[in-house]
Amino acid sequence: MGGYEHTLWTLFLPVISFVLLGLFGRKYFSKSAGLIGVFLLLLTTALSLYTAYQYFFVNGLVDGIYQKIDAFKFTWLTFSPGVSIDMGIMLDPISVMMLVVVSSVSLMVHIFSLGYMKGEERFATYYSFLGLFTFAMLGLVVSSNLFQMYMFWELVGISSYLLIGFHFQRPSAVAASKKAFIVTRFADLGFLIGILMLAFYGGSLDFNTIIQHLSAQQSSAYLAATTASFLGVTALTWGLTLVFMGGAGKSAMFPLHVWLPDAMEGPTPVSALIHAATMVVAGVYLVARLFPLYALNGASLEIVLNVGLFTALFAAIIACTQTDIKRVLAYSTMSQIGFMMFALGVSGTQGEQGLGYTASMFHLFTHAFFKSLLFLGAGAVIHFVHSNEMKDMGGLRKWMPLTHLAFLIACLAIAGIPPFAGFFSKEEILLATYNKSIWVYAIALITSGLTAFYMFRLYFSIFWRKEYNGHSHPHEGTMSMKIPLIILAVCSALVGLIPFGKFVSVGNQPQETHFHLMFSILPIIIGVAGILIALLMYKKENDRPQNMAQAFGNFYRAAKNRFYMDELYLFVTKNIIFKWVGRPSAWFDRKVVDGSMDEIANLTLETSKAIKGLQSGKVQRYAMYFFGGIAFLIILFVYILK
Amino acid sequence: MIPVSHILILSATLFFIGMYGFVTRKNLITMLMSLELMLNSVNINFVAFNKYLYPGKLDGIFFTIFIIAVAAAEAAVAISIIINLYRTHKTIDVGAATELKH
């Protein structure tokens, strides 16, 4: 099906921005880099929106299903006839949805950065990195095969690394960028092995072919993948679990989450783009992309469910205790991604049972807007208060009314208060879990209550609590910082009204999502309760928070220290891996590998020292050796070896 | 008829005299002469074996003549080398030419 040539340009325009600003930015565009980046991203966003319009409304339904469309495809590497790696653009409802999300959030961040990063020395470099990231993320979502996805996956990782470490003069930023890179790389090792396993059994790298081969239960590929086993677990489960490990690393799922809070060292707009709205949901996207396989393989879907559920609760508890506003948002992001994960985990493949899938994608969609809004709002606050700590803020609503309003809308959205966006998606997730298991539902409900609590704790601490008495004079930012806040606030308020099930659902078949009034009462009550508790504790300065902290005692301390996960990692790496693996291998390398080479060199040297006297330069000496040698050979061959 | 062993003893004696001279003398001209001695001992061997083993053939004799011709050419080359050596070192003592060592 043709007519999607322009979609290719959504990838190329950010590349142009990257190359142009990366190579020539500092010299020629040090002032205008931002405008160039914004202009190119504006075109990209327009093309993405047009693609979405064309996909959903012009091509629309064929036989009651949104068809998968290969907008563009070419064979990249041919190994032998039939075995090749393709590059392509595949459009289906989720990739089109992600195109819109990624390009529009990226555009907002581009615009916001005009004001936020103004006067930065490496302004142009910053925009070129943003271009690289946007390109990589768009490439990731439209990938038509696993290998292409893996390449873009790594590109996203490297641009995240570059942007976290953007202020490389700060040692903490360098450490954070390294940490993010190493943790996600470690997870990607699992991803790569998983890809190879799926490709081996599925006989292809192409998503459609793999899914086709491995989801037909009678096919030989499926039988081979389910009969081969390792440690009592089938090859298919291993493959899918390892792929999920890659996704969990990128999406900061427990226990691979440790990099995300530290990644907040990056500039705040970057956190909004990469570490809230787009890159960190790549893991969810990956699972959704391979969902037909996960759905058939109960064991791996169970892992997705449990990891997602645990992370959602775990991160929400930590978020209640942190005082760095960006860290609160980071843990909140983890928690929300946990929601998306377990929503996939409870989903089935058919009709009503596939509600979890729709809900997960819907939450991804709405979350992208309100979470990037929260980050940009926090960025505006940090920009003028020059601090990340809650104690330095308070009472800012009088100084920054617009930011205050936008932040409030985002908080209401994430807390699940109707009619804001988060309400609808969270509602669907809760409904999906309720249909599956009451326990999962209960935990999800508690977590959403916690979400409301910590978000409003944040909100009251920043904007109410006390009169602002800091040294700087906070005020609203420039126009470029206001516009994205307004647009995103409008989106956060309204995107929930989109009948999402009509566009994205598990079989790409439009679905009616019913709205159950009775069902939604309980979540709303819980959400409002969370808000009220936060109101009581944080609206005015009082000693209730301290009393509360004391009541929880050790549990509070543990949560405040992020359950000692970083310390655990440090312990494992330093005392176990470095001590028992690192040092012995270093010793082996120095003594055995290097040592044997040194020994060979020494031997040669010693031998040459011993025999160099033989080369005297005296012809007659040589003649003696010559005759002696002949005599020796004659004796040897004539008398000894006859 | 002289037995072949006599001739071989003569040739071996000549060869070792030549060898002795080659490794002990320092004078290049003497060394060249010693070399010629060794070549001639080989020639004697060729002639003797030709006569005693294949009396009807002349291969050994021809080879001898060939060696004499080569030896003459070689002497010419060797002497020119010696002259050059004399020009550069002002001596024809073989011990003076040890540049190969360095």
CB contact under 8 A, B97 and A615: no
Query: Is residue B66 pLDDT above 60, yes or no?
Result: yes
Radius of gyration for chain B, computed over Cα atoms and rounded to the nearest angstrom: 17
Confidence of residue A597 (pLDDT cuts 50, 70, 90): very high
Give the pLDDT confidence score for residue A137 in this predicted structure.
Answer: 92
Cα–Cα distances (Å) from B29 to A288, B21, B39, B75, B85, in that order, read: 96, 11, 15, 10, 12
Distance from CA of A574 to the nearest CA of B (A): 56
Q: Which residues of B touch A615 (CB under 8 A)?
A: 100-101
Query: Rounded to 5, what percent of chain A is helix, strand, coil?
Result: 75, 5, 20
Look at residue B46 in the predicted model and tell me its pLDDT.
93
Average pLDDT (A46-66) is 83
Report which of A192, A516, A495, A467 is spatially closest to residue A368, judged by C-alpha positions. Answer: A495
- Smallest Cβ–Cβ distance between B23 and the set A616, A617, A624 belongs to A624
pLDDT of residue A637: 92
Q: What is the pLDDT of residue A144?
A: 87
Tell me, what's the pLDDT at A291? 87
Residue A351's pLDDT band, with cuts at 50, 70 and 90, is low
Instruction: Please tell me the predicted confidence (pLDDT) of residue B100.
Output: 59
Of the candidates A80, A212, A95, the residue with the CA atom closest to the CA atom of residue A508: A95
pLDDT above 80 for A618: no
Provide, as residue numbers in chain B, all residues whose Cβ is less than 8 Å from the Cβ of A618.
94-95, 98
CB atoms A620 and B23 under 8 Å? yes
pLDDT at B79: 92
**Which chain B residue lies closest to A615 (C-alpha atoms)?**
B101
The range of the structural domain enclosing residue B81 comes to 4-99
Task: Mark out chain A residues that contact chain B at CB-CB < 8 A.
Answer: 615-620, 623-624, 627
Section A493-516 average pLDDT: 76
Short-list B71, B21, B74, CA closest to B46: B71
Q: Which of A615, A620, A624 sits opposite B94 (nearest CB)?
A: A620
**By CA distance, what is A624's nearest residue in B?**
B23
Mutate to test the interface with A, among B15, B20, B22, B92 (most CBs of A within 10 A): B22
Q: Look at A516 and A460; give whichever has higher pLDDT.
A: A460
In chain B, what residues touch A612 (CB-CB under 8 Å)?
none
Chain B hits for A628, Cβ within 8 Å? none
Confidence of residue A215 (pLDDT cuts 50, 70, 90): confident
Mean pLDDT lowest for which of A76-80, B57-61, B75-79?
Answer: A76-80
Query: What is the rounded average pLDDT of the residues A144-161?
Result: 90
User: Cβ A618–B102 below 8 Å, yes or no?
Assistant: no
Closest of A41, A192, A49, A197 to residue A131, by C-alpha: A41
Using one digit for the tens of pLDDT, what is the confidence trace for B69-95? 999 999 999 999 999 989 988 888 887
CA distance B99 to chain A (A): 7
Residue A634 distance to chain B (closest CA, Å): 15
Chain B residue with CA closest to A612: the answer is B101
Half-sphere exposure of A152 (CA within 13 A, CB side): 25
Rounded to an integer, the average pLDDT of A330-357 is 84
User: Scanning every residue of chain A, which has its alpha carbon at the shortest distance from the alpha carbon of B26?
Assistant: A620
- Look up residue B91 and give its two tokens: 């001596």
Compare CB distances from A617 to B22, B24, B101 and report the shortest one's residue. B101
pLDDT band, residue A614 (cuts 50/70/90) = confident
Tens-place pLDDT, residues A118-152:
878 888 888 889 999 999 999 999 988 888 899 99
Beta carbons of A8 and A72 less than 8 angstroms apart = yes
Contact B98 A617 (CB under 8 A): yes
pLDDT at A474: 64
Nearest CA in chain B to A625: B23
What residues of chain A lie within 8 A of the CB of B82, using their CB? none
CB contact under 8 A, A617 and B102: yes
Question: What is the reported pTM?
Answer: 0.78
How many Cβ atoms are within 10 Å of A607's Cβ, its own excluded?
10
pLDDT computed for residue A515 by the predictor: 67
| Cross-chain residue pair B101–A620, CB shorter than 8 Å | no
pLDDT band of A252, cuts 50, 70, 90: confident
Pick from A615, A618, A627 the residue to mutate for testing the B interface (most B CBs within 10 Å).
A618
Could you report the per-residue pLDDT of A18-52, keeping only the tens digit for each?
Answer: 988 888 888 888 788 888 888 998 999 999 998 88
For residue A153, what pLDDT band results from cuts at 50, 70 and 90? very high
Q: What is the pLDDT at residue B26? A: 86
pLDDT tens-digit series, residues A533-592: 888 887 777 777 777 778 777 877 877 777 788 888 888 888 888 888 889 999 999 989
Contact between A374 and A411 under an 8 Å Cβ cutoff? The reply is yes
The whole-number pLDDT of residue A470 equals 64
Q: Are the beta carbons of B95 and A618 separated by less than 8 Å?
A: yes
CA distance, residue B56 to nearest chain A CA (Å)? 30
The confidence score (pLDDT) of residue B101 equals 60
The domain spanning residue B62 has which CATH number? 1.10.287.3510
Q: Residue A291 in contact with residue A357, Cβ under 8 Å?
A: yes
Residue A619 has its nearest CB partner, among B19, B94, B102, at B94
Mean pLDDT of all residues belonging to chain A? 85
Helix (H, G, I), strand (E, B) or coil at A414: helix
pLDDT at A471 over 80: no
- Tokens 């809308």 map to which residue? A409
ipTM for the predicted complex: 0.80
At B20, the pLDDT band (50, 70, 90 cuts) reads very high
pLDDT digits (tens, 9 = 90+) for A86-127: 888 888 888 888 999 999 999 999 998 888 888 788 888 888
CB contact under 8 A, B97 and A619: yes
Are residues B98 and A620, on separate chains, in Cβ contact within 8 Å?
A: no
- Cα separation, A562 vs A559, whole angstroms: 5
Query: How many domains are there within chain B?
Result: 1
Tens digits of residue pLDDT in A264-282: 888 888 888 888 888 888 9
**pLDDT at residue B8, rounded to an integer:** 92
Instruction: Quote the CA–CA distance of A539 and A459 in Å, as a whole number.
Output: 9
User: Contact A617/B94, CB-based, under 8 Å?
Assistant: no
Which residues in chain A are contacts of B31 at CB distance < 8 A?
A: 620
